[in-house]
Every structure is written in structure tokens, then in C-alpha cells.
Structure 1
């Protein structure tokens, strides 16, 4: 992972606009993910096969329960200016109407993103566990599913919800091999036993 450091902007105004402009103009290799994390434009490498496999399995299950006018997106950026963040979740579930606005990102709000899913990679696990957790909570995203293949000891899946005062409650945490349940509006149980475990721990 490499990062281009810029002066930390304020949550509003021209400084944030400048960081977004740098983010939009960053030329990264195809398949890499360019995000703003704590005011730093960050480039992450292409995900591994096991990472993509988990994303596909979760996406397939989610499609069985979401309304027709919702979508599941793998490359949709969500903006959280108050946390100096522009994140690209591995999966984001949002009403299709949210994408009617021009541009290449949506605001990360309770009315825009219904669920975000992050799947840790060896190089970005801390971002998913800390900065993104705090960012999604601050934005009021109702549910955050963190699938942590690189958790110390054994891979886990943690469901966060009920955001209040920029903090999530842990709704459930399971080790790979167990089932985790997403509450309404999904009412979906996901079997983490289907997830591949990275070969190098």
C-alpha cells in the first residue's frame, strides 16, 4: 500500500474540495482502490482471490433479500467529509435513486447507504477496523459488516449497528465457520463457513 500525503483539510470548505480533487486525479494502476483515509489519499493493491470470493458470496446472498430498487455496488465511493474520508467499501447496499445525482461518489448517510461491507486485506486491516469503523458510525450508516480474514488467532465477522454519537454497538461477532445474522431490513443469515481463509496467516 502506498499513500500520497496532503495537508490535513478541515471537514468543510475548500480544503476538503482540494483533497477530493487530488483523489479524483490520482492515477493508480487498473484494479487498485484509491481512497481518502483521515485526509490522506491512499492507494490499495488489487484484492486477492480469497477476498474477491468472499465479496461474491456475500453479494449473492444479499441479492436474495434486497428490494428491486436497491443495488449492491463494489466500486461506489462514499464521502464522509466530517471524518476526512472518501471510502470505497468492498460492498455497499444503497437505493438506486441515490445514484441519480451526478458525480462519482455518494454521501455516506443513513438514507444513502443501508449497509457497508469491508473485507480486510493484509495491507489494510487496520483501516477497516479503526478509521472506517469510526467513519461509517459518524456518518450514521445503519449497518457495517466487517469480515476480518486477518484477525489475530482466527478470522472473524463482526456486525456493527445502531450508530449513536459517532459510535457503533457490536450487534454480533462470530468466528469463520459460524453464522451471522443481519437484521431488518435484510433479515439474512450468512454462513461464514463458506468463506475461504487466506493461506498465509
Structure 2
């Protein structure tokens, strides 16, 4: 049996159109574009989903009605030829594409993105996504790293400047995460 050649995309728009029309095995699968490569991930396990649900619940109680918390929004980073589907994204409703112009949200419109590591993708979340979100100057990037070398922790990256984050705080699981303004929110992690 021969392997099929990987498709080549001459433009960012062609790559995004391919992503939009993927026929995934089921709705729980996630497809992202990482450095011009479409990567599909199977549905995560229940511990991962429980963390996402707890973070979403805390954010829902604290954010203004004009903002939404999304677990399936595609965010585009054309500069890096990446398109991610963050585990959590906080985006003002007024910044979302309309049905007339469907597609991913430009990542710079997000106020916060959060990624929850899985064993198979932890390095992508720790490196490529950290770098891409910093390049796009997303105000807050929360990496919920269940497999960190020095123990499970939430790493809150803030103050993006010239393509990287100037601040990084570590909150070991069990210690509450303090989100700065405009959130001014404490998220407990003792059940992570």
C-alpha cells in the first residue's frame, strides 16, 4: 500500500477552506492547523472535559454579557499559518464573524485563550501555541498543564509585548488562579 502525498496549499485561504470542509470522524474530534499542517485530535477524556467545564463555569459567572466563552471557536493566526481551536476562548460577541462571512475568528480579538494539555499534545500547547498567541498579542494565555515536569499547574502568560509574553505566573493545582483585569476573577483549581 502506498501513502497518499500530502496536499500542498499555495495560499492561506486554500488551507482555511480545506479546514472548514474537513469530514471529521464525529463532532467531538478537533482539527487545527499547526504551522501549515492540518492536525486532528480525538475527543479528550473526562478529566480534561471536567477542567474545561469548571473554567467555563467560573468565567460565565464573571464576564460581562457582551462576551462569550467558547470551547469550539476556531481562531486564526495567519502570520504563523496556524488555526487553533482553543479549549477555552473568551471573545466579545461583536467580534465574531457573521453567517455571511463564516470562518475563524482573528485571534487578536480574543481576550483570553486557555489550553488544557493532553499527553499527546502537551508540547504543542507549551511551545507552538504559547509562541503564536504571544505573537498575536492575545492579552492572556492560560496553559493548564496536567503533565508539567514539576507537577500539574496552571501557567498564566500575560503582558504580551513584541511577540512574546513578559509575565508568567505558575499556580500549582490546588492553588487558585488569579486572573487580572478585565476579568478580576479567582478560579479554584483544587478539583483539577
TM > 0.5: yes
Quote the residue 1:20 is aligned against.
16
What do you get for the CA RMSD once the two structures are aligned? 1.5
- Asked if the contact 1:143–1:161 (Cα under 8 Å) also holds between the matched residues in 2, the reply is yes
Asked whether the 8 Å contact 1:177–1:194 carries over to 2, the reply is: yes
Cα distance between partner residues in 2 of 1:53 and 1:169: 30
- Structure 2 residue runs of 5 or longer lacking an equivalent are none
Q: Find out whether 1:192 has 2:189 as its counterpart.
A: yes
Equivalent of 1:115, from 95, 112, 116? 112
1:160 corresponds in structure 2 to 157
Deviation at 1:170, TM superposition (A): 3.1
Match of 1:89 in 2: 86
CA contact (8 A) 2:97 2:105 kept: no
Displacement, 1:179?
Answer: 1.5
Q: Which residue of 2 aligns with 1:37?
A: 34
**Is the aligned partner of 1:180 residue 2:180?**
no
Q: Please, what TM-score do these two structures have when normalized by structure 2?
A: 0.91
Q: CA deviation at 1:129?
A: 0.5
Q: Is the 8 A contact 1:33 1:43 kept in 2?
A: yes
Post-superposition CA distance 1:61-106 (Å, at most 9, x none): 1112100111000100000000111000001001011124321310
- Greater RCO, 1 or 2 (C-alpha within 8 Å, sep 6+): 1
Unaligned runs of 5+ in 1: 196-201
Q: What residue in structure 2 maps to residue 106 of structure 1?
A: 105
How far did 1:153 drift?
Answer: 3.9
> CA deviation digits over 1:153-195, x for unaligned, max 9?
4111000011111101233112111122100000111121121
* Residues 2-43 of structure 1: CA deviation (Å, up to 9, x unaligned): xx9554x6xxxx511121122122222111100000110000
CA contact (8 A) 1:66 1:186 kept: yes
2:68 to 67, 71, 74: 71
CA contact (8 A) 1:34 1:41 kept: yes
Query: Which residue in 2 is equivalent to 1:198?
Result: none
Residue correspondences, number: 185
Question: Please, what TM-score do these two structures have when normalized by structure 1?
Answer: 0.87
Task: After the TM superposition, list the runs of 4 or more consecutive aligned residues in structure 1 that deviate by more than 6 angstroms.
Answer: none
Structure 1 counterpart of 2:142, from 139, 142, 145? 145
